[in-house]
């Protein structure tokens, strides 16, 4: 049955709850910590959003350098754009860095230059923002130990967030304890919360402090003004602002709560002003120096000006994405967007989460309707629920303003209202049916547990090495060697296999590349795959470190054979349907030079073409197939275009439209003959492969119109007059004509 209960006790009384009723919270915290440790350990260093900059900020303070510089000077440090963040989290995070010798060894952040891969995010490829070698950070010591200590601090604040969420829900709906533990469990099982709780970040501390502020505000509203509650609210709000400046949105629920207490005559004007003044004084004492310091440095008082110098700051309104697009991204990344946002589940998962969210909203609307019908809109429960709604809207407005300034559609920026969202979602689900939360928890539990196994591990794992049996299956191998010379090879290229022989522009071409390292190197080589067309024009390419970005060459072990899948995105602006070359190279990152490629006999390969792929234009893919002539030849000329008057000595152009009625397994040549219509004598000819060899007939699909643009040089020896132009295809070896010849047209040749 729907739960429409609100207050069942005097709204000004405290609501003591026996300690034994809190065991669900203890169980939830234990579950959260276990899952958090798992996430923390499986997520490689620096794979949290802006984690390198957050870590650098804490180390900067640990080194006794004071607060970091703002503006352009911030980008001369490793802190970069995060230099404008309030310092409280970093002061706390610097404590382990002050105790531990972070230089032995140093936790070095090496950015992956190929993050992110320009393709659909369902495909794992260069999801690692950092180049990591697991042996560097295991066992934990030095800078790596400091990094994981800072991650543990985030997890600790997550525990405080669980407690505050539980307490807040207990104040909003005291008659329904299931909402209290359910709200805490919802937070604990949200994959993005777990992820952000286990990296170096100020998001969870800001969420925890905000949750405590709003919990204490709920206590004040339900129990009436108490000096210690006012001071507590001020302390929690001030700390939240010193964690993240977006916590300034707390002014909205605090002001709304005091205004409601005064308007409902639960407190006097003097009491309202006294309580509000106490909160303001405490917040100002805690945070005022921060805003004054920023303003004195000609920076925004909020410390946000440094972000305007980043590459993702907008310089014109045209760069801003649409409202729906922005908030769709916020919604998705609120629930799950691992790493730097690129590791995500399939789209249907988000639709399921969206359905759960819509259900909670519908239930919340139903909750307010029922309270209105029961004339209980003045109850504390309804007031608190409305204040939580206002809090969420305030943070959403701040985020919307921010997203119109920089590219920042990140769901974690809504975490200051995480506890409020959890409480309201539980209220909404309970209004529809008390078992709906169980279904939601089941969905989140499956998603949370499967994320490390199905998303995180594949994205952050080096390729598996091939067994002897698997290597034998590759035979015969290409046997190409790459190195500075034939006598000093670095690696052997065993096999390159495009997963598709034909692809429509706008799609992604997976290519499997198998390597056998021959020697060790300290250099970083990038693998380059190129799709090359006429005049050696590159129409698509992909450059990446091996192992989908997670197995750089300096980590290669000789004779440990592995296969790597690379993905080439073919732009939808492809100009012509052709069969393109697939070339490969290894490029030395620091110099840009390519390693030489040698065959099995140590001969230099000038053009390392490993395969060919048919690429189809978007326009061609939308064109229907021509009718198949069952009784016609294998390939026929169906249409031609040419000028009717030609000039001696000039190069004349024509267009021949061919269609294959049946597949052919040979590559035929095109002949175009100029004939005397009276004698049948061939006066001149222009033979050659169709489309200059870039679209062999063995690649022609049945029914496709192949447009062959050709040129014909009119010899000066030809007598002016009227001639027939005929065309056809023939086998270059046997000279046998395929399907006969076809009349292209009649031309008049003039001098």
Query: What CATH number should be reported for the domain holding residue 556?
Result: 2.60.40.2550
Q: Is the same domain home to 640 and 540? A: no
Q: What is the mean pLDDT of residues 95-105?
A: 90
- Predicted local distance difference test score (pLDDT) of residue 548: 85
For residue 737, being part of any structural domain is answered with yes
SS (H, E, C) 464-484: CECCHHHHHHCCCCCCEEEEE
Task: Determine whether 175 is exposed, middle or buried from the number of CB atoms within 10 Å of its CB (0-12, 13-18, 19+).
Answer: middle
Q: What is the mean pLDDT of residues 389-416?
A: 96
- Domain residues for the domain of 738 are 635-750
Say if residue 13's pLDDT is above 50.
no
For residue 362, being part of any structural domain is answered with yes
For residue 130, being part of any structural domain is answered with no
Select from 413, 436, 458 the last residue of a domain: 458
Query: Token digits for 321?
Result: 């994405």
For residue 122, being part of any structural domain is answered with no
| Confidence grade of residue 2 (pLDDT, cut at 50, 70, 90) | very low
Nearest CA to 738 out of 646, 654, 650, 635 is that of 635
Say if residue 700's pLDDT is above 70.
yes
**456-511 pLDDT tens trace:** 998 898 889 999 888 888 777 888 999 999 888 999 999 999 999 999 999 999 99
Q: What is the mean pLDDT of residues 680-689?
A: 94
The 10 Å Cβ neighbour count of residue 223 is 16
For residue 367, being part of any structural domain is answered with yes
The answer for residues whose C-beta is within 8 angstroms of residue 240's C-beta and 6 or more apart is 206, 209, 210, 212, 213, 247, 250, 416
Give the chain's domain count. 3
For residue 630, being part of any structural domain is answered with no
- Predicted local distance difference test score (pLDDT) of residue 226: 87
The residue whose two tokens read 């080194």 is: 63
Q: Is the same domain home to 446 and 472? A: no
Nearest CA to 662 out of 638, 631, 693, 689 is that of 631
Q: How far apart are CA 503 and CA 582, in angstroms?
A: 13
Say if residue 17's pLDDT is above 70.
no
- Predicted local distance difference test score (pLDDT) of residue 375: 83
**182-194 pLDDT tens trace:** 999 999 999 999 9
In b/e form, how buried is each residue of 375-411, taking b as 16+ CB within 10 angstroms?
eeeebbbbbbbbbbbbbbebbbebbeebbeebbbbbb
Q: Is the same domain home to 519 and 655? A: no
- Predicted local distance difference test score (pLDDT) of residue 261: 95
Say if residue 234's pLDDT is above 50.
yes
| Confidence grade of residue 377 (pLDDT, cut at 50, 70, 90) | confident
Phi, psi of 325 (to 5 degrees): -60, -45
Q: How far apart are CA 455 and CA 346, in angstroms?
A: 10
Q: What is the mean pLDDT of residues 618-646?
A: 84
Select from 407, 437, 458 the last residue of a domain: 458
Q: Is the same domain home to 674 and 562? A: no
Q: Is the same domain home to 669 and 738? A: yes
Q: Is the same domain home to 54 and 153? A: yes
Q: What is the pTM of this model?
A: 0.86
Q: Name beta bridge partners: 653.
A: 711
Say if residue 7's pLDDT is above 50.
no
Q: What is the mean pLDDT of residues 245-273?
A: 95
Q: Is the same domain home to 487 and 452? A: no
Reduced to 3 states (helix: H, G, I; strand: E, B; else coil), residue 224 is coil
Select from 621, 651, 684 the last residue of a domain: 621
Q: What is the mean pLDDT of residues 399-410?
A: 94
The 10 Å Cβ neighbour count of residue 630 is 7
Q: Is the distance from CB of 419 to CB of 214 less than 8 angstroms?
A: yes
Q: What percent of the chain has pLDDT over 90?
A: 78
| Confidence grade of residue 119 (pLDDT, cut at 50, 70, 90) | low
Q: Is the distance from CB of 128 to CB of 339 less than 8 angstroms?
A: yes
Say if residue 294's pLDDT is above 50.
yes
Say if residue 376's pLDDT is above 90.
no
Q: Is the same domain home to 594 and 507? A: yes
For residue 655, being part of any structural domain is answered with yes
Q: Is the same domain home to 454 and 509? A: no
**213-222 pLDDT tens trace:** 999 999 999 9
Q: Is the same domain home to 639 and 609? A: no
| Confidence grade of residue 104 (pLDDT, cut at 50, 70, 90) | confident
- Predicted local distance difference test score (pLDDT) of residue 444: 97
CA separation (Å) from 148 to 63, 144, 202, 457? 18, 6, 15, 19
- Predicted local distance difference test score (pLDDT) of residue 8: 41
Task: Determine whether 1 is exposed, middle or buried from the number of CB atoms within 10 Å of its CB (0-12, 13-18, 19+).
Answer: exposed
Q: What percent of the chain has pLDDT over 70?
A: 95
Alpha helix (H) residue ranges in 336-435: 347-373, 380-403, 418-432
Q: How far apart are CA 38 and CA 194, in angstroms?
A: 10
CA 197 from centroid of its chain's CA atoms: 19
Alpha helix (H) residue ranges in 190-226: 191-197, 203-223
- Predicted local distance difference test score (pLDDT) of residue 627: 65
Q: Is the distance from CB of 120 to CB of 508 less than 8 angstroms?
A: yes
Q: What is the mean pLDDT of residues 346-360?
A: 96
Of 104-113, 181-190, 397-406, 651-660, the poorest mean pLDDT is in: 104-113
Q: Which residue has the higher pLDDT, 133 or 50?
A: 50
- When the pLDDT of each residue in the chain is averaged and rounded to a whole number, the result is 92
In b/e form, how buried is each residue of 105-127, taking b as 16+ CB within 10 angstroms?
eebebeebebbbbebebeebbbb
Q: Is the same domain home to 56 and 181? A: yes
- Predicted local distance difference test score (pLDDT) of residue 12: 40
Q: What is the CATH number of the domain that holds 680?
A: 2.60.40.10
CA 675 from centroid of its chain's CA atoms: 62
Q: Is the same domain home to 401 and 485? A: no
- Predicted local distance difference test score (pLDDT) of residue 137: 66
Q: How far apart are CA 591 and CA 173, in angstroms?
A: 65
For residue 708, being part of any structural domain is answered with yes
Phi, psi of 715 (to 5 degrees): -65, 150
Pairing relation of β-strands 480-485 and 651-660?
A: unpaired
């Amino acid at each position: 049955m729907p739960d429409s209960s609100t207050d069942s006790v005097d709204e000004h009384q405290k609501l003591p709850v026996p300690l034994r009723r809190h065991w669900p919270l203890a169980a939830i915290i234990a579950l959260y910590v276990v899952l958090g440790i798992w996430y923390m350990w499986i997520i490689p260093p620096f794979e949290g959003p802006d984690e390198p900059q957050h870590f650098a900020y804490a180390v900067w303070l640990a080194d006794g350098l004071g607060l970091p510089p703002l503006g352009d000077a911030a980008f001369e440090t490793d802190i970069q754009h995060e230099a404008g963040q309030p310092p409280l989290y970093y002061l706390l995070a610097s404590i382990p860095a002050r105790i531990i010798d972070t230089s032995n060894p140093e936790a070095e952040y090496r950015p992956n230059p190929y993050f992110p891969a320009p393709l659909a995010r369902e495909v794992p490829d260069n999801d690692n923002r950092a180049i990591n070698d697991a042996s560097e950070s295991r066992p934990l010591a030095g800078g790596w130990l400091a990094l994981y200590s800072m991650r543990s601090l985030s997890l600790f604040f997550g525990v405080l967030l669980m407690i505050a969420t539980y307490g807040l829900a207990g104040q909003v709906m005291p008659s329904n304890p299931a909402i209290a533990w359910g709200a805490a469990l919802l937070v604990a099982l949200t994959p993005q919360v777990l992820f952000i709780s286990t990296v170096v970040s100020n998001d969870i501390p800001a969420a925890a402090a905000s949750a405590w502020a709003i919990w204490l505000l709920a206590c004040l509203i339900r129990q009436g003004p108490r000096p210690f509650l006012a001071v507590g609210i001020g302390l929690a709000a001030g700390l939240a602002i010193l964690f993240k400046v977006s916590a300034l949105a707390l002014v909205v629920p605090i002001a709304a709560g005091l205004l409601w207490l005064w308007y409902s005559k639960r407190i006097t004007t003097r009491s309202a002003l006294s309580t509000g003044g106490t909160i303001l004084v405490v917040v100002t004492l805690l945070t005022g120096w921060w805003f004054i310091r920023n303003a004195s440095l000609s920076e925004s008082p909020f410390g946000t000006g440094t972000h305007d110098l980043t590459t993702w700051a907008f310089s014109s309104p045209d760069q801003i994405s649409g409202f729906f697009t922005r908030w769709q991204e916020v919604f998705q990344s609120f629930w799950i967007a691992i790493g730097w946002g690129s590791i995500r589940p399939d789209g249907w998962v988000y639709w399921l989460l969206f359905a759960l969210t819509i259900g909670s909203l519908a239930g919340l609307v139903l909750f307010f309707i029922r309270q209105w019908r029961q004339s209980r809109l003045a109850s504390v429960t309804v007031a608190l629920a409305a204040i939580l709604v206002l809090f969420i809207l305030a943070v959403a407005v701040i985020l919307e303003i921010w997203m119109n300034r920089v590219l920042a559609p990140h769901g974690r920026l809504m975490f200051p209202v995480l506890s409020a969202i959890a409480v309201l979602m539980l209220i909404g689900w309970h209004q529809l049916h008390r078992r709906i939360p169980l279904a939601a928890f089941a969905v989140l539990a499956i998603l949370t547990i499967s994320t490390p196994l199905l998303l995180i591990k594949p994205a952050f794992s080096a390729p598996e090495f091939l067994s002897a049996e698997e290597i034998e299956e590759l035979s015969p191998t290409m046997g190409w060697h790459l190195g500075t010379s034939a006598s000093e090879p670095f690696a052997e290229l065993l096999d390159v296999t495009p997963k598709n022989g034909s692809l429509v522009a706008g799609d992604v071409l997976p290519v499997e590349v198998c390597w056998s390292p021959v020697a060790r190197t300290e250099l970083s080589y990038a693998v380059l795959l190129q799709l090359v067309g006429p005049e050696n024009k590159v129409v698509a390419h992909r450059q990446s470190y091996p192992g989908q970005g997670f197995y750089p060459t300096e980590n290669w072990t000789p004779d440990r054979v592995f296969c790597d899948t690379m993905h080439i995105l073919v732009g939808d602006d492809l100009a012509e349907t052709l069969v393109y070359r697939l070339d490969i190279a290894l490029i030395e990152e620091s110099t840009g030079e390519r390693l030489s490629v040698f065959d099995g006999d140590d001969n230099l390969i000038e053009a390392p073409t490993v395969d060919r792929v048919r690429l189809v234009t978007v326009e061609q893919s939308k064109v229907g197939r021509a009718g198949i002539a069952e009784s016609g030849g294998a390939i026929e000329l169906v249409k031609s275009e040419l000028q009717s008057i030609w000039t001696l000595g000039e190069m004349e152009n024509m267009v021949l439209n061919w269609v294959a009625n049946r597949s052919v397994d040979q590559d035929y040549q095109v002949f175009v003959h100029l004939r005397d219509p009276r004698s049948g004598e061939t006066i001149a000819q222009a033979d050659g492969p169709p489309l200059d060899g870039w679209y062999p007939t063995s690649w022609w699909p049945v029914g496709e119109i192949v447009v062959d643009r050709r040129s014909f040089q009119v010899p000066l020896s030809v007598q002016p007059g009227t001639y027939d132009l005929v065309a056809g295809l023939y086998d270059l070896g046997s000279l046998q004509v395929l399907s006969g010849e076809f009349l292209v047209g009649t031309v008049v040749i003039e001098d």
